[in-house]
A and B are shown apart, each in its own frame.
Chain A
């Protein structure tokens, strides 16, 4: 049912189908052929009993007038035993393939999910900034669902029906080409009709899809705005608007389902009529003595016409089964295409070769690499000539004449230069869209600069391995994101090797220990849904503790306190001040009170730094900062 929410956006590409099969095969190189074989075997063996039944009935017809069971028995028994044997073997094949199919389907989906997720972790931040979260989620829900239907239902049906159709076609040709042509003509009609009706159904499914999207959007907006609706007594208008959208949705989905529902009876009954045609044609052939053409070379006789009728039935039945799968195949292909598109997204490139290592520094300032944790770090810089130099990690970050744009040709930062010496606090102030967050995005290389250079402890940051660069930078964002798990696990996210004690110390430093110990289960309290059971300020404190346990030399605080009320902020601020001590810190803040004591304040406007200096200097300048500080401008 969910598949319908995800109707084909474009025509299925045969290459996509091939890729699905290839992928399946690569996951299950032995199981897949074995399963296919079992499916083929069981469907082939389904044709044999008909022959046996014919033979048994012939035996009965031969003997029933005599009433001599004893003489008939030896003739019937071997046939019955053969039938039983066949059934046992075919049953075994069915058990094997249904069980394997269950295993393969789920395993395939699981591997696909994991591949997608693993690939997604390596995608650049740009991908997440340019795709809606809902869209990303639908890869994992809707698209995977369409593939589930495809693999578990359509593929076996395809193999089965395909095998039967080919077998039956062969036998029919063996008997009589003329009559086969009649059957094929009928099948052509069936195909034509199913294409027409099926196409109509697909068209309306797409429309239904759009209406559904519109209805969902409306519902979502109204549910979120329900309180506003109440306050404005807007209930009736809301109802009237919804009725319109709802009616349109109903109409489209009614048409889509009607087409889909009608397809079955149409094909079945065309099959019935075809049956009549074949019977009549057979009768005519018998009477008119037309010379038969067939691989068997048999002349027309009842023994050809009668089995032919059965085969017609089988043939159309299987064609019908195939058409039933068309919708799910088309939808599966659309899902697969989207999934492959995600898997084919280019991963975040990382050419960095400078790594962060544990270091020992002797009294002469010589740096030595060591495997054990010393609390001191150094950049290990291998050079082209084979030598390796070590630079102690200090936290000196400099930007020289940096230009940058999210979209090519549209620069949002112009000529930005910032020098942050170890232990300094650098603040960015400016309106939304002035480029404050963009600068921090460049320092940790979520995005790469277009022009200029950035040096970290004198090293070009493009040379530093991204994971090591980011390990040396702590970030606390305005939007706190906590993970499902205990408070302790959330703090430890900053440093997976941290002991419980270290985590608690970090919490104490951040000023979070106090409230955590008062939670029902203290540090073992389970957080769900992004810490919904905590207040905004409490969540922020945990995020600060998380950054503290990582103990990075450089910190980025992006509007870390702006959604907290002033009273709570004073508590959080204490935690932040503790954390900032002795580190290079980049602060982006909404409230100027937070940045007042910075070593340098940069005022940004439209991507350029228009003022820089200490608080007192900037106030004395009576420029933009002064206006902001005195409340003449809003900071949104």
Chain B
């Protein structure tokens, strides 16, 4: 995992390494500065003359400046490295996601991808920053201080034999106990926040049933429970400070007591006063480094979860295989399904589609009808290879779709998805998704065909009208017509409308179909619809049920022999939603 993430450092390797170097420089100066200051104090104490004091003072000032420079540069390179690393992580993830197939996309929910690219990256960025700042510095300080303590303090350094293991063990125990507790409570905390969201979303239900008090109690209980868990976890961590203090205090007393005994007994030969104060300083540094190390440990383990989630995205293998020698031309818009069956995942028990055999000639209009979950969308998604068949094959223009260059295939098969989206930007920009180089004239023509021109030109800004995120400022019917226009701009050989006119009134709907017939007669059109009226004049209507083709034929044929079709037809005409009345 670490290796995988380390790959994303790339051009920021230099900054990372520089950070390490300058931090070490700063650390070295930091350990020497106390020496010089002690020296300065001694000089003043001993009444050394002013020039000597000034010299030492100048040395100290110079060292402070170097330390400042080192610290400053390290701070800058560290910021650069860590934010750059985060940038690369986001970039790599987004690039990876762009290579995802529908299979991969289904696996991750879009909200989980958003968290992975935002919160998780921030977490990893923070621990990366921590690591390059302290991962070398702290162990270095630790070793340096221990060595110095032995060199300077001699026998006095034995104090550390007791203190270090105690502190290390103590810190280790605290983090080991606290971390799982925190992890558990964070999960609960997420659920609590989800329940708040649920409450906010369902506020009309809550108020409609006058359940405010009930909700308060429910939330209060859950919050109380979490508060208890949080407090317990936090109290474990709170032990760190007194533990640290205990060790420092012990060190202090030990050094002072034993130190003074040794100094006096040896008449200052084995240990002297200077060594005692050096021991006190180094003792402090050793313990601080240990504390830092334990913090890094905690931080890394805490962000490991985020790192794991990021790696899941980066390591995901796109499930689509490209043809080795892709065919670069599509002859026509004919479509053939040969003994196709399809499952959404290998482990799924049930087929989404079974035994599909369809032969569609280029330029035909085909309607598909059936209840939710009958497999209509699954069927058409196989044509532009949004998913690959499990068995059998799908052919376009007489050649297996797997043989084609994927981009070419998808450019030739325009599909208006059921869950369709416009992006934030102007209407023009949105339409140009279909064809970047389309002229304004072409845009207007496509919109006329999709019956969108009429309402677009009424907008004050016409084709330059801004679409809000999620397309909230156009109605459902208008959005669908814009999406159809966008697909038409691709000048596709095959056009698939997956329930794309459900919010469009029946009259406009029939105008759109009429336009298709007149202006793009050679394009194969596949129309999935809920309304019988949308498909009844098709050359062929496919009735789907439970992932199988229940029947296939023209409107007249199906009315005679297909019960499901008749049922749907009867229900809709009774409801008055058919367009017979206006024809």
Contact B267 A276 (CB under 8 A): no
Q: Are A279 and B371 in contact (CB under 8 A)?
A: no
- State the Cβ distance, B216 to closest chain A Cβ, in Å: 5
**Most interface-central of A67, A94, A239, A566 (chain B CB within 10 A):** A566
Assuming the A-B contacts A121-B212, A253-B86, A261-B75, are A98 and B239 also in contact, with contact meaning beta carbons closer than 8 angstroms in the complex? Answer: yes
Over the window 181-223 of chain A, the binary record of Cβ atoms lying under 8 Å from chain B Cβ atoms (1 yes, 0 no) is 0000000000000000000000000000000100111011111
A305 and B44 within 8 A (CB): yes
Query: What chain A residues lie within 8 Å of B252 (beta carbons)?
Result: 49, 53, 83, 87
Distance (whole angstroms) from the CB of A477 to the closest CB of chain B: 6
CB-CB under 8 A for A635 and B505, given A69-B261, A223-B110, A475-B208: yes
0 or 1 for each of B562-579: is its CB under 8 Å from A? (1 = yes):
000001100110111111
**How long is the Cα–Cα vector from A266 to B194 in the complex, in angstroms?**
43
In the bound assembly, the distance between CA atoms of A264 and B68 in angstroms comes to: 9
Bound-complex Cα distance A66 to B267 (A): 7
A61→B273 contact, CB < 8 A: yes
Q: What are 24 A-B contacts defined by CB distance under 8 Å?
A: A60-B276, A64-B268, A87-B252, A106-B231, A121-B216, A219-B94, A221-B424, A227-B419, A228-B433, A230-B100, A232-B433, A242-B90, A249-B87, A255-B79, A257-B78, A261-B74, A262-B72, A272-B64, A280-B53, A484-B195, A592-B576, A630-B582, A632-B582, A634-B505
Instruction: Determine, out of B115-123, B341-349, B353-361, B513-521, the stretch whose residues face the partner at the interface.
Output: B115-123
Total residue contacts A-B, CB cutoff 8 A = 417
Contact indicator A253/B83 (Cβ below 8 Å):
yes
Per-position binary interface string of chain B over residues 232-248, scored 1 when its CB falls under 8 Å from any chain A CB and 0 otherwise? 00110111011001100
Q: Is A386 an interface residue (CB 8 A)?
A: no
User: Which listed residue, B100, B201, B212, B276, touches A226 by the CB 8 Å rule?
Assistant: B100
Is B61's CB under 8 angstroms from A483's CB? no
The reply to whether the CB of B105 lies closer than 8 angstroms to some CB of chain A is yes
CB < 8 Å neighbour of B71 from A60, A101, A223, A265: A265
Q: Judge whether B198 is part of the interface by a CB distance below 8 angstroms.
A: yes
With A254-B80, A261-B75, A634-B505 in contact, is A1–B210 under 8 Å at CB? no
Q: Contacts A65-B267, A566-B568, A631-B582 given: A242-B477 contact, CB under 8 Å? A: no
Q: A53-B256, A122-B212, A137-B193 are in contact. Are A227 and B417 (CB under 8 A)?
A: yes
Q: List residues of chain B with CB within 8 A of the CB of A152.
A: 234
Report yes or no: B257 in contact with A121, Cβ–Cβ below 8 A.
no
Contact (Cβ within 8 A) A225 B68: no
A136 engages B200 (CB within 8 Å): yes
Q: Nearest 10 CB-CB pairs, A to B?
A: A265-B71, A593-B575, A261-B75, A634-B505, A481-B202, A631-B506, A257-B79, A110-B227, A272-B64, A258-B79
Cβ–Cβ < 8 Å partners of B410 in chain A: 230-233
Note all chain B residues with C-beta closer than 8 A to A106: 227, 230-231, 234
Select which of A60, A306, A444 is within 8 A of B41 by beta carbon.
Answer: A306
What is the bound-complex CA distance between A134 and B205, given in angstroms? 19
Q: Which residues does chain A contribute within 8 Å of B533, judged by CB atoms?
A: 631
- Considering only CB atoms and an 8 Å cut-off, how many residues of chain A contact the other chain? 155
Known: A61-B273, A233-B410, A265-B67. A101 touches B197 (CB 8 A): no
**A470-B196 in contact given A110-B223, A239-B94 (Cβ < 8 Å):** no
**Residues in A neighbouring B577, C-beta threshold 8 A:** 591-593, 631
Q: Check: A107 CB closer than 8 A to any chain B CB.
A: yes
Q: Closest chain B residue to A133 by CB distance?
A: B200
Measured CA separation A234–B422 after assembly (Å): 13
User: Of residues A228, A239, A260, A593, which shows the largest number of chain B Cβ atoms within 10 Å of its Cβ?
Assistant: A228
Given A257-B83, A258-B80, residue A279 in contact with residue B40 (CB < 8 A): yes
**Among the listed stretches A111-119, A411-419, A577-585, which one makes contact with chain B, having 4 or more residues with CB under 8 Å of it?**
A111-119
Within 8 A of B (CB), among A256-302: 256-258, 260-262, 264-266, 268-269, 272-273, 275-276, 279-280, 282-284, 286-287, 302
CA–CA, A305 and B48, complex, Å: 14
Using A121-B206, A475-B204 as known contacts, say yes or no to A591 and B507 having CB atoms under 8 A apart: no
Interface of B is mostly: helix
> Which of A102, A117, A568 interacts with B219 by CB under 8 Å?
A117
> Which residues between 140 and 193 of chain A lie within 8 Å of chain B, taking CB atoms?
140-141, 152
Cβ-based interface call for B379 (8 A): no
Q: Quick check: B241 and A98 within 8 Å, CB to CB?
A: yes
A565 at the interface (CB under 8 A from B): yes
A59: nearest chain-B partner, CB-CB: B260
**For the complex, is A629 an interface residue (Cβ under 8 Å from B)?**
yes
Q: Which of B243-302 contact A (CB under 8 A)?
A: 245-246, 249, 252-253, 256-257, 260-261, 263-268, 272-273, 276-277, 280
The B-contacting residues of A in range 308-343, CB under 8 angstroms, are 309, 313
Chain A residue at minimal CB-CB distance from B489:
A232
Query: B residues 63-110 with Cβ under 8 Å of A?
Result: 63-65, 67-68, 70-72, 74-76, 78-80, 82-84, 86-87, 90-91, 94-95, 97-102, 105, 110
B126 within 8 A of A: yes
Q: Would you give the 0/1 interface string for B363-404, flagging 1 where the beta carbon is closer than 8 Å to chain A?
A: 000000001110000000000101000000000000000000
Nearest-CB residue, chain B, relative to A229: B98
Measured CA separation A113–B199 after assembly (Å): 14
- Quick one: which of B199, B201, B242, B579 contacts A95, CB cutoff 8 A? B242
For residue A255, which residues in chain B have a CB less than 8 angstroms away from its CB? 79
At the interface, yes or no: A99 with Cβ under 8 Å from chain B? yes
At the interface, yes or no: B184 with Cβ under 8 Å from chain A?
no
The CA of A217 and the CA of B114, in the complex, are separated in Å by 9
| Chain A minimum-CB-distance residue to B502 | A565
Docked CA distance A326–B41 (Å): 33
- Cβ of A345 within 8 Å of any chain B Cβ, yes or no, is no
Docked CA distance A76–B533 (Å): 103
Residues of A within 8 A of B204 (CB): 125, 446, 475, 477, 481
The answer to whether B76 touches A262 (Cβ under 8 A) is yes
Contact assessment for B75 and A265 in the assembled complex, using a CB-CB cutoff below 8 Å: yes
**A566/B273 in contact, CB under 8 A:** no
Give B193 Cβ to nearest chain A Cβ, in Å. Answer: 6
Instruction: Assess whether B321 is interfacial by the CB under 8 Å rule.
Output: no
List residues of chain A with CB within 8 A of the CB of B54. Answer: 280
Is B581's CB within 8 Å of the partner chain A? yes
CB of A506 within 8 Å of the partner chain: no
Contact with A along B422-451 (1 / 0, CB 8 A): 011000000001100000000000000000
Q: Does A84 contact B (CB under 8 A)?
A: yes
Report yes or no: A591 in contact with B575, Cβ–Cβ below 8 A.
yes
Contact partner of B238 (CB less than 8 A), chosen from A4, A69, A98, is: A98
Docked complex Cα distance between A327 and B76 (Å): 18
Is residue A376 contacting chain B, with contact meaning CB distance below 8 A? no
Nearest residue (CB) in B for A152 is B234
Contact residue among A94, A235, A275 (Cβ-Cβ distance under 8 Å from B245): A94
| Most chain B C-beta atoms within 10 Å of own C-beta, residue among A83, A125, A232, A631 | A631
CA distance A565 to B377 in the complex (A): 14
| Bound-complex Cα distance A446 to B204 (A) | 8
CA distance A102 to B476 in the complex (A): 52
A519 part of interface (Cβ distance < 8 Å): no
A351 is an interface residue with CB less than 8 A from chain B: no
Residue from the list A133, A222, A275, A565 in contact with B197, Cβ < 8 A:
A133
Write out the residue numbers on chain A whose beta carbons fall within 8 Å of the beta carbon of B226.
110
Instruction: Collect the chain B residues with CB atoms within 8 Å of residue A113's CB.
Output: 223
Contact partners of A265 in chain B: CB under 8 A: 26, 67-68, 70-72, 74-75
Instruction: Name the residue on A nearest B91 (C-beta).
Output: A246
Q: How far is the CB of A249 from chain B (nearest CB, A)?
A: 7
- Asked if A13 is at the interface (CB within 8 A of a chain B CB), the reply is no
Q: Would you give the shortest CB distance from B77 to chain A, in whole angstroms?
A: 9
Q: What are the residues of chain B within 8 A of A483 when measuring CB–CB?
A: 198, 202
Residues of A within 8 A of B578 (CB): 631
Q: Is B214 in contact with chain A by the CB < 8 A criterion? A: yes
Nearest-CB residue, chain A, relative to B126: A1
Q: Judging by beta carbons under 8 Å apart, are B40 and A110 in contact?
A: no
Q: Is the CB of A125 within 8 A of B568?
A: no
Is the CB–CB distance between A91 and B264 below 8 Å?
A: no
Besides A60-B263, A140-B193, A254-B80, 6 more A-B contacts (Cβ < 8 Å) are A121-B212, A221-B469, A227-B419, A269-B71, A565-B372, A636-B503
